[in-house]
Structure 1
Amino acid sequence: MATQHTRGRGAADLRDGQTWSVTAHRVDTAALERDLRREVDGEVRFDAGSQGAYATDSSNYRQVPIGVVLPRTVEDGVRAVRVCREHGAPVLSRGGGTSLAGQGTNAAVVLDWSKYCHALISCDPERRTCVVEPGIVLDRLNAELSRHSLRFGPAPSTHSHCTLGGMIGNNSCGASAQAFGKTVDNVRRLEILTYDGLRCWVGPLSEQELTSVIERGGERGELHRRLREVRDRYRERIRAGYPDIPRRVSGYNLDSLALEDGMDVAALLVGSEGTLATVLHAELDLVPTMPHKALVVIGYPDVAAAADAATELRAHCDPLMLEAVGGELAHFIREEGMFPGSLRLLPRGSSWLYAQFGGQTREEADEQVRRLLSGIGKSEQDDDVAISDDPAREKRMLHAREAGLGATANPPDMPESWSGWEDSAVPPERLGDYLRDLLALFAEFGYERPALYGHFGHGCVHVRIPFRLKTEPGVLAFRRFLRRAADLVVSYGGSLSGEHGDGQARGELLVRMFGGDLVRAFGEVKDLFDPSDRMNPGKVVRPRRLDSDLRLGPDYRPRTDATFLGYPDDGGSFHQGVLRCVGIGNCRSSSGGVMCPSYRATGEEEHSTRGRARLLFEMLQGHADSPISDGWRSTAVHDALDLCLACKGCKSDCPTGVDMASYKAEFLAQHYRHRLRPVAHYSLGWLPALAQVAGLAPRAVNAALHTPGLGELAKRAAGVAPERDAPRFARWDFQHQWRRRGSAPPRPGDPNAVVLWPDTFTNHFDPRIGRAAVAVLEHAGFSVAVPEQPVCCGLTWVSTGQLGVAARVLRRTMRVLRPWIEAGTPVVGLEPSCTAVFRSDSRELLPHDEDAARLREQFHTLAELLTERSPGGWRPPELGADAVVQTHCHQHAVLGFDADRQAMRRAGIDADVLDSGCCGLAGDFGFQRGHYDVSMACAEHALLPALRRTDPGTLVLADGFSCRTQIAHGSDRRARHLAEVLAAEVHR
């Protein structure tokens, strides 16, 4: 029988027909939306943008939802389910949207709890329990619990953005499950809501308590009575059919019904993937935090040998985690330039085991490491052993393990790799032999160089596989492989899933693991909770085919229009760039790094990097049912990208290297092709040219821009936010001041020559920074040259999507700099965003220009030049000052900050480099009308509160013009450029 690839109807169909066919039901979507808006005090969205953003999770699957509801309270969620029941609409409860098996996508009404329903309701430190709402993120929960020295035990790699509701739905684990077990082992009780309206708390009951509940009757009693019947009917099959391994996540937890004394319905529901009931509240067990940790890494010749050794290690220790990194994963990490420092810390070997220990004291943790090494006959002096009890060093060492999913998603010298068989588990003592057979199966199917890693202490292995999901033969091979792999893991007494659940990827394979009787029992349990099959239908029970609803598939035909940018890292393809996003969801984190400031400000999926990537995917219209039907002219995609700050944080912080700033620029270029643009694109996008004109009469321009009434009219005409003050043009620009200096500049080829780049912001607004840089460079032994012609990197045209103009401007700049480029003279930039254009964007704009390629190697930051290329070795005066530092986003993402740290150390500056994310101004973004609130919300996320806490005598450093402007606007502090601070000491 030919493979069928079925898909749900899309948003375009809804607008035409106003009905939605789901299995045998038809839903009047117009009436459903109307009633949801009337009954639910939350956000109800049936628009194309929301449908596109929620059409997939982190899996291979895609189903366009009916609509999305973001309930403001748990009670709103209850009302939303009731309205869906009245209309016969299916429901999908969703957490962080990172499911890898397809359980987070469905043709249903999606309930996203994460924006509003994220409270810690209560905490009982004595009992070590807490009660939470389903949308609370794990890291946020643990941060709130830290004052009690408690935490929730399981910690998936998505801990910065996964929700407790999602963890309960998937029975999440993570590395810490080695010590604390799976989520099911840490859930005490659940408050649930069934599709038919039963709302109650469920949890463990002794046989006597179970009888009492049944005798009290009512819907709750009836549910428990029928569950007892299922249990009694299948008790022996349950006991015989469930593998006794630490990482069995597949199937419903029917074993929780067949306890020695009674049953635990809460445990039954954990891992049921939203197919049985909606979780409203959860009471969780907590564990004490470990204030001190120690890590040992041991090298092995191959990944199977590491798996063999894991059993021996466990015989000598009881670690917090016992993880593995295979050689191919390390290779991909190295090839992609991810965490190079992490790999350098690894000991000799081709694969590695990581064992971490915890204690109330450092000595307690260290002693466990010594005891382990002694037990296996090794010493910390061995070259295949590395240890650490320093938290910062441990974090760096662990980066290689945590990079797994990102490094294997788009390996540079491999075909695209996908989930599908990413977390099988076997008895830990049999893992080595299982891996050898699994590697042979990969070879048989031609799936080359699988990068294995995972939780080897629990026998769970992770891998992404280069399935050929764009061709019919490839999809058929995908199906055959999964069936063979399922039989293999079952032959080892293992589980199809050891962490990520079944969903659609493994639902139809459950019969191979559990047999027909237990799968029938799953169906009976499903019918008890959800007789109309409206809760996340088609997953786990009566599942849709594992090769249907594919995000790609043989019928995937995206548009391939000519683009303005070159996308050299993606084979010249915008589409391949968009496919970099595999839904990991790091862009939904709430702290640390830069990505994604607009999500942190709004809490909106479509304003995350992932949400925007999903909408661009839909815009390319690879599927007939795409909700985005108007391509590059899409207003839904435009609205989602409008709040992208183009900070480039995702370029470095996204594990797969999504560069949304470039995708936004491309979209704007296509969207406004042959059309009038917003006025801000002309006023702010053409700022370098306008600044040249303003330089003819800066006093008059400043007076006009700052005169009450006239200034407001000018801002309105320019599309500038009325809350913003226009920056003042300098009386004399830096290039003018340089010409008046009158000194003979060096010639190209002079050994100590350096070209100081006069960016628009330094040149026209802050020329004092240019003068300061000259003083510092000359003090360091350089001979400084400054281009005297008007030059520009094209940044403002890039950020507003005027890419044709940007390319022309950049080519003109190359002609001006050509003598210096040919001579190999270093060029130093003072404005990080402009420097980043030469180091990164020029490769996209001019992918085949040799001068641009040469200049990328010659362009440096001030700190890089001083610390790495100073003629006599730079020795600055000792400043001896404290400073807080706001790193520019483009410096974080493209340039790096290590040289700046080194320069500040040499100058005696004790620098507190803020981990505050984007300042929120982000070039033209914060100046554009309509962006002010989001811009200031980004600043208030961390930057401005940190400045308010800072002592008035502490220096504030910010090399970015945007950062300094935002700091001046939002605080009473004046930020200074590093050049100014160093020059002040040079002049003493």
Structure 2
Amino acid sequence: MPTLESTLRHRINGEVRFDAGSRAAYSTDASNFRQTPIGVVVPRTPEAAAEAVAVAREFDAPVLSRGGGTSLAGQCTNTAIVIDWSKYCHRIESVDLEARTCVVQPGIVLDDLNRRLAPTGLRFGPEPATHANCTIGGMIGNNSCGATAQAYGKVVDNIVRLEVLLYDGTRFWCGKTDDDEYAAIERQGDLRATLYRHLRTLRDTQADEIRRRFPDIPRRVSGYNLDSLLPEHGFDVAGLLVGSESTLVTVLRAELKLVPVVKERTLVVLGFPDIEAAADAVPEILPYEPLALEGVDSRLIRDERIKHLNPKARAELPEGDAYLMVQFGGETVEESDEHAHRMLDGLHASEHDPTVAFFDDPSHEAELWQVREAGLGATAHIPGRPDTFEGWEDSAVPPDRLGDYLRRLRHLYGEFGYLSDTGPSLYGHFGQGCVHTRIPFDLYSADGVAAYRRFMERAADLVAEFGGSFSGEHGDGQSRGELLPRMFGEQLVGAFNELKGAFDPLNRMNPGKVVAPYRLDENLRLGADWAPYAPRDLHFAFPDDGGSFAEAANRCVGVGKCRQLTTEGSVMCPSYQVTREEEHSTRGRARLLFEMLDGHGDSAIRDGWRSQAVHDALDLCLACKGCKRDCPADVDMATYKAEFLSHHYEGRWWRRPRAHLSMGWLPLLAQAVGRSRLGPAVNALTHTPPLARVAVAAAGVENREIPLFATETLQQWFARHEPYGDGARGSVLLWPDTFTNHFHPHVGRAAVALLEHAGWRVELPTEPLCCGLTWISTGQLGVAERVLGRTVRHLAPHVRDGGRVVVLEPSCAAVFRSDAHDLFPGDRDVRRLRDRTVTLAELLTEHSPGYEPPQVPERSAHALAQVHCHQHAVLGWDADAELLRRAGVDAERLDSGCCGLAGNFGFEPGHLDVSEACAERVLLPRLRDAAPETVVLADGFSCRTQVAEFDSGGHEGVHLAELLAVGLPGGAGAAYGSAYGVAPDTRPTPPGRRARALALAGSGVAAAGVAGAALGVLRSLRR
């Protein structure tokens, strides 16, 4: 292996990785299987990938091409050299508008392809549910389909040509081959000619058996596409290779057929008493030629309700316990609506008379479509339920027999004990007879694995009886490879083996998949022998995982939503969006943590909590908590990272980065500076060259602008504050978080103005309290528990009396609403604090009946909102949007994800490039295009800091409280000033005027400030 690795590094234009972390990250896909790869190659060009195969051949090493890694049958995991195309090989090389074709590299993501094709009015037709992260190469390998296959067919129906590479180095373009082209190829007398002669002989000898045994259904994905070689299909070698799962060739480029973009769509949702009745209605709908025809049962809706997925869309479903989602298209809304009404008239006249919900608003359609596309994630890890698994997740039968098949399948569930009131759900592409499901197999015990095998065999016989296909979308891989004789017979399976031998006689292309397969109960990711290390000295309780860190790490089901390159209303995973590295995705990090626990004894990661590989993968995790909301399996990587860092540095604090100490202990330093009123002196130290460089080096942080301390803290100001109004609504406690209290007290002053204007009497703690956020994010959990525990005890009397705590900083509110409960799940005061913590918007919209916010002046009435990632993940933004609407603000929520600073992340050494790149994805370009007077709404201190430092347009982020306080009327407005509701001189010094402030501070004052701050810290530590 060392020689193989060094040769690859010398000859490959790309990245070569044989390290433990990379091998662990690629050890599994979205399936039940696990095999650690030899190494990973990330080529920069298709030619570099071809060279990687050449090197592998010289060392007799197996090869596996991988796209998005979301395969459910185990075809993307193997002990091989894995070629990951997705980071660099994503070019569109040409587009032919007249022919409606394009040539692409294999690593391009489907949504990215269609987004770039949008100006042409064309798109690639097949669209799996993973369209935001699946690659074209992976779709070719799996012969993917998706809901739109109803109109456009499978990938095999949408390929013109493929450029392919055999393991022996033979390379050529292939597609349909007429007799003249075949003769020309044969005359070459080379390896390709020999292969084509072999294929024609194989076709001629097997033609009758192919026609007899291949199921005549829309969704036959199992087996090799020998039918593509038949004369009626034009001896299509490209079609033969689609769906071959990297077992025959490496695809270097693909020429795709394109279809016109449907201009208008109409979605009709039909309600039925049960899923079988819905399936029975499918044949009645098919003659109306819908674009898509999907089925969803009530169990899937129930699972989404439990996991709080798609609440708006669920509320719009018609009456029923099962649904068909039928989509029509047309040049105009009227045309697509007409198709839908014609279908409804036909159904009402038949024995099928469903309830109906009708939608031709694109936004509503998109919401409802999410109900269906969330299926895989929604049915995994349901709280209080047994885990469910793939295996039999995509069988397909003739659509006119679908209802009977579902009845028999449900009976089989019952026979094996898999059927109960709680599952499993049935959903899928009903218009083509394809059924998706996840089954509560017991893959943890020998008896359970044996039952899983027996079920798979029985289910295979059932599908064969119905003339169906074991796979209607996800391929055979290892899950169904050994079952293929039950579907095709021994003769055709022998032909599959002969085909494999013709393309790959050495069995080095993804061996053990499809043909000569591993057993379906072999190489299990779990299995009867899975025995991971189970750490018990945990800080977080992991209440949703039975207190087990191993179960938490095992949450990832591999769906790959964290690999999306566009946020589309989500936040995760900002580091992957920048680096496009598997181990920087939520999925990749979860895989490393799973491997770290070494449940099989052969993991590439053998040093547990001390693992540098895991540390490196987690290092670029921004702890944005985006995955806590966006991951369909509820992976919470920010919590996992904090837990890992705590153990990684346990007993060796001196190994911690200085940034963990300086940023983690920032609240204590801020308290010392605030008490001694040395903010100006410290500001001078951190902003006067060369003192600033010394301060940055001493703190161990990135060389970037350090936020300025306020001259007066919020608590100091509030101590002399004269309340405005009568406080008729009662009292509310305003939480003085470190960032508001010591850096941006003007935000707190504006909040006080608003709360008092709304009729609340505001209270503020006088003691130096903290939620512990900075210690949590740096993994100093012992300190965090003590700090947070002290705060909970102090706030307990207030919340026990039913008082609410208003928190202005989203990350601190998230601690009270989430992290605190995970650290102290049995503490009733923590639960009370969680339930009584509100944002400013929540208090004013949900707990202040009759309140109308001040109307914001027209000059500030348009705002771009950068929603803090913790607010997105834990708190939500609906209340903010409603409050802004009432205040007359036209607020556009930026689809920008995390700003990139994420608390301490952007200040830690080595993170600056990633931090700025995150902001450059959407936020900063959008601000550069915005008018100077546009308000940038940013409740998070981190977001405001990032905007202030990197926005060349000079915008300053303002908090919701500041924006609304602009419109305070009468006495309130006079009391708090006209600009942002506070006196102008209390705002932080804008970056452009910093030099003037620094000129007032001498080096002597700075030195005194440092000494005073240090003494204050020491006194605090002694206390």
With structure 1 as the length reference, what TM-score do the two structures score?
Answer: 0.95
- SS of match in other structure, 1:985: coil
Is residue 930 from structure 1 mapped to residue 914 from structure 2 by the alignment?
no
Q: Distance in 2 between matches of 1:850 and 1:708?
A: 50
Aligned twin of 1:575: 550
Q: Distance in 2 between matches of 1:383 and 1:402?
A: 22
In the TM superposition, residue 208 of structure 1 has moved relative to its aligned partner by 3.7
Equivalent AA in structure 2 for residue 439 of structure 1: R
1:73–1:746 CA distance, 2 compared to 1 (3 A): same
Is residue 599 from structure 1 mapped to residue 573 from structure 2 by the alignment?
no
Match of residue 339, structure 2, among 363, 368, 386: 368
In the TM superposition, residue 395 of structure 1 has moved relative to its aligned partner by 1.3
Q: Could you report, residue by residue, the CA deviation over 1:214-263 in whole angstroms, capped at 9, with x for unpaired residues? A: 23321221111111011111111111110100000000000011132740
Do the aligned partners of 2:725 and 2:757 also contact (CA within 8 Å) in 1?
Answer: no
- SS of match in other structure, 1:612: helix
Q: Distance in 2 between matches of 1:908 and 1:872?
A: 17
Match of residue 518, structure 2, among 523, 526, 544: 544
- SS of match in other structure, 1:460: coil
Equivalent AA in structure 1 for residue 689 of structure 2: P
Match of residue 480, structure 1, among 451, 454, 463: 454
Aligned twin of 1:251: 223
In the TM superposition, residue 815 of structure 1 has moved relative to its aligned partner by 1.7
Aligned twin of 2:1000: none
1:422–1:565 CA distance, 2 compared to 1 (3 A): same
Is residue 388 from structure 1 mapped to residue 347 from structure 2 by the alignment?
no
- SS of match in other structure, 2:664: coil
Q: Distance in 2 between matches of 1:378 and 1:575?
A: 55
In the TM superposition, residue 744 of structure 1 has moved relative to its aligned partner by 11
Do the aligned partners of 1:332 and 1:412 also contact (CA within 8 Å) in 2?
Answer: no
Q: Could you report, residue by residue, the CA deviation over 1:154-182 in whole angstroms, capped at 9, with x for unpaired residues? A: 00011011000000000000000000000
CA RMSD of aligned residues (A): 1.4
Q: Could you report, residue by residue, the CA deviation over 1:431-486 in whole angstroms, capped at 9, with x for unpaired residues? A: 00000000000110011221000000000000001110110001111111100000
Of stretches 922-931 and 709-718 in structure 1, the one that deviates more from structure 2 is 709-718
Match of residue 274, structure 1, among 226, 240, 246: 246
Aligned twin of 1:489: 463
In the TM superposition, residue 211 of structure 1 has moved relative to its aligned partner by 3.0
Unaligned runs of 5+ in 1: 1-28
- SS of match in other structure, 1:837: helix
Aligned twin of 1:439: 410
Aligned twin of 1:807: 785
Is residue 839 from structure 1 mapped to residue 810 from structure 2 by the alignment?
no
In the TM superposition, residue 614 of structure 1 has moved relative to its aligned partner by 0.2
User: 1:138-217 alignment to 2 at 5 Å?
Assistant: 138-217=110-189
In the TM superposition, residue 359 of structure 1 has moved relative to its aligned partner by 1.2
Q: Could you report, residue by residue, the CA deviation over 1:172-214 in whole angstroms, capped at 9, with x for unpaired residues? A: 0000000000000000100000000000000001234323322
User: 1:967-982 alignment to 2 at 5 Å?
Assistant: 967-971=947-951, 972-982=954-964
Q: Could you report, residue by residue, the CA deviation over 1:15-42 in whole angstroms, capped at 9, with x for unpaired residues? A: xxxxxxxxxxxxxx11111111111111
In the TM superposition, residue 742 of structure 1 has moved relative to its aligned partner by 5.2
Do the aligned partners of 1:210 and 1:262 also contact (CA within 8 Å) in 2?
Answer: no
1:52–1:820 CA distance, 2 compared to 1 (3 A): same
Equivalent AA in structure 2 for residue 909 of structure 1: V
Q: Distance in 1 between matches of 2:369 and 2:549?
A: 33
Q: Distance in 2 between matches of 1:645 and 1:605?
A: 15
Aligned twin of 2:486: 512
Aligned twin of 2:734: 756
Q: Could you report, residue by residue, the CA deviation over 1:692-742 in whole angstroms, capped at 9, with x for unpaired residues? A: 1111111211111112011111111111101x1111100110001001225
Aligned twin of 1:782: 760
The percentage of aligned residue pairs carrying the same residue is 61
Of stretches 186-195 and 218-227 in structure 1, the one that deviates more from structure 2 is 218-227
Do the aligned partners of 1:334 and 1:340 also contact (CA within 8 Å) in 2?
Answer: yes
Aligned twin of 2:796: 818
Q: Distance in 1 between matches of 2:404 and 2:66?
A: 37
Aligned twin of 1:6: none
Q: Distance in 2 between matches of 1:546 and 1:412?
A: 28
Match of residue 322, structure 2, among 351, 357, 360: 351
Is residue 703 from structure 1 mapped to residue 688 from structure 2 by the alignment?
no
Match of residue 104, structure 1, among 76, 88, 91: 76
Is residue 238 from structure 1 mapped to residue 215 from structure 2 by the alignment?
no
Match of residue 616, structure 1, among 569, 593, 604: 593
Aligned twin of 1:561: 535
Q: Distance in 2 between matches of 1:116 and 1:359?
A: 37
Q: Distance in 2 between matches of 1:589 and 1:871?
A: 41
Aligned twin of 1:680: 659
1:378–1:344 CA distance, 2 compared to 1 (3 A): farther
Equivalent AA in structure 2 for residue 190 of structure 1: L
Aligned twin of 1:13: none
Do the aligned partners of 2:724 and 2:756 also contact (CA within 8 Å) in 1?
Answer: no
Aligned twin of 2:65: 93
1:822–1:430 CA distance, 2 compared to 1 (3 A): same
Q: Distance in 1 between matches of 2:897 and 2:26?
A: 26
In the TM superposition, residue 814 of structure 1 has moved relative to its aligned partner by 1.3
Is residue 658 from structure 1 mapped to residue 629 from structure 2 by the alignment?
no
1:782–1:136 CA distance, 2 compared to 1 (3 A): same
Aligned twin of 1:5: none
Equivalent AA in structure 2 for residue 853 of structure 1: R
Match of residue 498, structure 1, among 464, 469, 472: 472
Aligned twin of 1:123: 95
Aligned twin of 2:562: 587
Of stretches 434-443 and 563-572 in structure 1, the one that deviates more from structure 2 is 563-572
Do the aligned partners of 1:782 and 1:871 also contact (CA within 8 Å) in 2?
Answer: no
Of stretches 252-261 and 772-781 in structure 1, the one that deviates more from structure 2 is 252-261
Q: Could you report, residue by residue, the CA deviation over 1:77-124 in whole angstroms, capped at 9, with x for unpaired residues? A: 010000000000000000000000000000000000100111000001
Q: Distance in 2 between matches of 1:660 and 1:50?
A: 18
Unaligned runs of 5+ in 2: 979-1023
Equivalent AA in structure 2 for residue 404 of structure 1: G
Aligned twin of 2:884: 904
Is residue 318 from structure 1 mapped to residue 289 from structure 2 by the alignment?
yes
In the TM superposition, residue 145 of structure 1 has moved relative to its aligned partner by 0.6
Is residue 453 from structure 1 mapped to residue 435 from structure 2 by the alignment?
no
In the TM superposition, residue 383 of structure 1 has moved relative to its aligned partner by 8.3
Aligned twin of 1:648: 625
Aligned twin of 2:868: 888
Equivalent AA in structure 2 for residue 660 of structure 1: M
Of stretches 673-682 and 724-733 in structure 1, the one that deviates more from structure 2 is 673-682
Aligned twin of 1:964: 944
Equivalent AA in structure 2 for residue 594 of structure 1: V
Q: Could you report, residue by residue, the CA deviation over 1:336-391 in whole angstroms, capped at 9, with x for unpaired residues? A: 11112121110000000000111111111111111111111179xx9821011001
Do the aligned partners of 1:423 and 1:460 also contact (CA within 8 Å) in 2?
Answer: yes
Q: Distance in 1 between matches of 2:805 and 2:343?
A: 53
Q: Distance in 2 between matches of 1:203 and 1:624?
A: 46
In the TM superposition, residue 61 of structure 1 has moved relative to its aligned partner by 0.2
Aligned twin of 1:670: 647
Q: Distance in 2 between matches of 1:166 and 1:859?
A: 46
Do the aligned partners of 1:194 and 1:278 also contact (CA within 8 Å) in 2?
Answer: yes
Q: Distance in 2 between matches of 1:151 and 1:261?
A: 24
- SS of match in other structure, 1:205: coil
In the TM superposition, residue 639 of structure 1 has moved relative to its aligned partner by 0.2
- SS of match in other structure, 1:81: helix
Aligned twin of 1:418: 389
Q: Could you report, residue by residue, the CA deviation over 1:485-507 in whole angstroms, capped at 9, with x for unpaired residues? A: 00000000000000000000000
- SS of match in other structure, 2:348: coil
In the TM superposition, residue 743 of structure 1 has moved relative to its aligned partner by 5.0
1:862–1:237 CA distance, 2 compared to 1 (3 A): same
Equivalent AA in structure 1 for residue 810 of structure 2: P
1:261–1:851 CA distance, 2 compared to 1 (3 A): closer
Aligned twin of 1:873: 851
Q: Distance in 1 between matches of 2:245 and 2:849?
A: 63
- SS of match in other structure, 2:255: strand
In the TM superposition, residue 746 of structure 1 has moved relative to its aligned partner by 9.8
1:745–1:554 CA distance, 2 compared to 1 (3 A): farther
Query: How many residues get paired?
Result: 954
